[in-house]
Amino acid sequence: MKETTLRAKSSKPLSAYRLIQALLGALFAAYLIWRFYNVFLDGTPSYGADSWLRFAISGVVLGSVYALIAIGYTLVYGILFMINFAHGDIMMLGAFSGYFVFEALEKIPSPVIDNPNQVFLNAHPVISVLLAFIVGATVAAVSGYFLEKIAYRPLRGAPRLVPLISAIGASIFLENAALLLFGSQRHDFANPVQITRGEGWNIPINGEVVILPYTGVLTIALSILILVALYVLVQRTQLGRAMRAVAENKSAAALMGINVNGIISRTFIISGALAGSAGVMWGIHLGLVYHMVGFIPGIKAFTAAVLGGIGNIPGAMLGGMFLGIIETMGPAYLGMSFQLKDVLAFSILVLILIFRPTGLLGEVLSEEKV
């Protein structure tokens, strides 16, 4: 079906570009199949099933964090057509908030008879984790709100490059503010003892035991929950409808009685809250926070957003997941050195953009932008 429409459209001869595309695709597919044979079927595989499961777990956890951050980029881009480069640093603020909540709760004694030294953090892990997420998301949301108000709103009418520079400036400001306030040392995230890092369910496979970490499962479950909630918010509620209307056409939305500035503020609040929760997850799962903790995840999530089709919410989720899995499993699958994981991730980004210039699920284009 697709083939015929393609033919029908191109009554002109097949362009050289298309030919090269097809050739590249065929080569790549052949290489992947050859690798598949090499990795799984040929004699002694370099990694057993247990290693693949470990790769997969770590990829999915990383991917779900990327997805949460990527949505922040996509939401803002969808509405303002600008890349909010300070988004990763908003995530850092969320991570620090979660860290301070845990630190504080660790100081509150909550003795029971058989354990007089018990602290609140370990006595009420569910409340503690919830509190960390609430505080982290709130701090990040408030920062997102003020970031927009101070750094972006005054530049609303300016050419598109101007807020971009402002965003980079805001990012540097936030990183250095955190450096001076919290110091340059890495801070160890003190988890409740029930979700100690490195502990989890044991899965016996292939004669080895693979640990499915509690923190990883928590991360995946929470991000799925948040993503579903966000999807419902955007698709089913009044606010979501208003956001989509503003994304479509600001002046028409204003004529319909929508408070455009209010909606933009709320978008930043939502994207900040997402980044904040991602930051707390990062801290709980990986255990270290410092002033630059948001930088690399921020860049990666931006890549994920482009990969999935910027402006497109399900695209950002898919892109984040895809990038996380490529990064962890890709080098092993292709038999290359792990220091090339970023090279691999970006090569795949280029490849995908050659075939689908608007990302995996397509860019959401409004008329204003076209």
Buried-exposed string 352-362: b where 16+ CB fall within 10 A, e elsewhere: beeeeebbbbe
Give yes or no for a contact between 271 and 87, defined as CB atoms under 8 angstroms apart.
yes
The CA distance from 114 to 111, in Å, is 8
d(CA 116, CA 92) in angstroms, rounded, equals: 35
**Shortest Cβ 27–another protein spacing (Å):** 26
**15/176 with CB nearer another protein:** 176
User: Rule CB under 8 A: is residue 177 a binding residue for another protein?
Assistant: yes
Window contacting another protein (CB under 8 A); options: 34-42, 171-179, 245-253, 349-357:
171-179
Total residues contacting another protein (rule CB under 8 A)?
A: 45
Indicate whether 194 belongs to the interface with another protein (CB under 8 A): no
| 144 touches 294 (CB < 8 A) | no
Per-residue burial over 244-271, b = 16 or more CB atoms within 10 Å of its CB, e = otherwise:
bbbbbebeebeeeebebeebbbbbbbbb
Q: Which residues pair with 288 in a beta bridge?
A: 188
With CB under 8 A as the contact rule, which of the stretches 13-21, 96-104, 124-132, 177-185 interacts with another protein?
177-185
Structure tokens at 96: 């620090």
Stretch that binds another protein, among 71-79, 81-89, 173-181, 232-240 (CB under 8 A): 173-181
Q: Is 352 in the site for another protein (CB under 8 A)?
A: no
The residue from 104, 142, 164, 211 that contacts another protein (CB under 8 A) is: 211
Site track for another protein across 315-334, x = CB under 8 A: ------------xxx-xx--
* Residue 21 lies near another protein (rule: CB under 8 A): no
The two tokens of residue 223 are 């991000």
Q: How many CB atoms lie within 10 A of CB 169?
A: 13
48 contributes a contact to another protein by CB under 8 A: yes
Residue from the set 145, 341, 353, 362 that interacts with another protein by CB under 8 A? 341
Pairing of strands 288-289, 187-188: antiparallel
Helices 161-182 and 87-107 pack at an angle, to 10 degrees, of: 20
Which pair of structure tokens corresponds to residue 235?
């698709």
Helix ranges restricted to H, the chain: 2-9, 16-36, 49-80, 87-107, 120-123, 125-147, 161-182, 214-236, 238-248, 250-255, 260-286, 295-308, 313-333, 341-355
Tell whether residue 173 is a contact of another protein (CB under 8 A): yes
Judged by CB under 8 A, the residue of 4, 11, 117, 185 near another protein is 185
Pick the stretch among 23-31, 114-122, 220-228, 292-300 that binds another protein (CB under 8 A).
292-300
Residue 362 found at the interface with another protein (CB under 8 A)? no
User: Interacting stretch for another protein, rule CB under 8 A, among 32-40, 57-65, 78-86, 111-119?
Assistant: 57-65
Here's the x/- map for another protein, 139-168, by CB under 8 A: it reads as ----------xx--xx--------------
Contacts for 365 with CB less than 8 Å, ≥ 6 apart:
311
Residue 64 interacts with another protein (CB under 8 A)?
no
Which residue pairs from 330-336 have beta carbons closer than 8 angstroms and sit at least 24 positions apart in sequence? Answer: 332/46, 332/47, 332/51, 332/52, 332/55, 333/35, 333/39, 334/35, 335/35, 335/38, 335/39, 335/46
Nearer to another protein, 197 or 356 (CB): 197
Determine if 337 is a binding residue for another protein (CB under 8 A). Answer: yes
179 binds another protein (CB under 8 A): yes
Q: How far is the CB of 177 from another protein (least distance, A)?
A: 6
- Which of 116, 198, 204, 257 is close enough to bind another protein by CB under 8 A? 198
Look at residues 105, 107, 111, 110 and name the one whose alpha carbon lies nearest to residue 132. Answer: 105
The binding site for another protein (CB under 8 A) comprises 46-48, 50-51, 54-55, 58-59, 62, 149-150, 153-154, 173, 176-177, 179-181, 184-186, 188, 197-198, 209, 211, 282, 286-288, 290, 292-293, 296, 327-329, 331-332, 337-339, 341
